[in-house]
Structure 1
């Protein structure tokens, strides 16, 4: 399997992955270099809003997602408003990572950023140097192309299946496998 992945790639957990942190996850890769890789799980919505999570944050009914098991005491955000939020890094077309946090709060207060424009993540998914390549070679992840709609418009509960189906007929069969199925 080719391990030629880059920033903006989607990583789909292989259907039999046992690690509970990543079982049936859809991860957006936001950083990938010789030092390691960083991504955010896009389909693990938490039952908390960002204004409940962060003190002194404007009232804002934006959902929070479990980004991964690393840095569980950190909050990150992906958004589509790189045109407004300085310091944002473009990950892929119409998807930006981070930006000036004080400016973000001002933009939210002025209703220039809506809940549908942004996703917040507690923690992140991280890999050390060559770790992700090794996992890809072992078949732990199925790489896919990112579409901003996956992040901002898709239902988190069906995202893994949706992206897998979008890869084509062979992967659509995998997407239809029931969770927990085993073949002896």
Structure 2
């Protein structure tokens, strides 16, 4: 069951989703949903959940064998790195807990073995090239300038199983109120 909290959340925390405001002028983050994996006094980082790359996972990792899962662009930082989030028991050890039912990383050897045996569940994992990062206080400044809307309490299965092309809009609609109105804003207000 999915749950969305939206009552004037002003301070983000690990595990929150950041939704770009409808007219954010940064092409890297236009209508994106970012899973915030870390947020502390040193900075913040996360992964864009709804920006598919043109490649599949097995096209960037030759050593894993056939594994044609979608590969997402996690953000503009270090796009030569591969990351994954999951809710897979075998990978929890060695991974970092983001929140209940959601982990980042884990043993690459275990990941590779699961892929090769065909036991990695796509509905419980997502792969990214690059990530989104903010320096100390940068994210909070952007939130204070209304660049991001914070959604809290979104169930991990909703993150893994929602179509990426509708994720931004569907979360805003479920948040209701003014957010439901944002979901229907045209991408270019001049075309309205």
User: If the length of structure 1 is used for normalisation, what is the TM-score?
Assistant: 0.94
Answer yes or no: is 1:69 the counterpart of 2:39. no
Show the 5 A alignment for 1:1-80.
2-80=9-87
| Distance in 2, Cα, partners of 1:67 & 1:35 | 20
For the structure 1 residues 128 and 104, does the alpha-carbon distance in structure 2 shift closer, same or farther, using more than 3 Å as the test?
A: same
Q: 167, 172, 192: which one pairs with 1:159?
A: 167
Large movers: runs of 4+ above 6 Å: none
| Distance in 2, Cα, partners of 1:114 & 1:149 | 12
Counterpart in 2 of 1:84? 90
Where structure 1 has 5 or more consecutive residues not aligned to the other structure, the ranges are: none
Shift of 1:18: 1.1
SS at match of 2:114: helix
User: For each residue in 1:77-135, what CA deviation from the matched residue of structure 2 results, as whole angstroms up to 9, or x when unmatched?
Assistant: 01110x21121112122211000111110122223312332111000000000000000
Taking only aligned residues, the RMSD between alpha carbons, in angstroms, comes to 1.5
Answer yes or no: is 1:180 the counterpart of 2:192. no
Counterpart in 2 of 1:118? 125
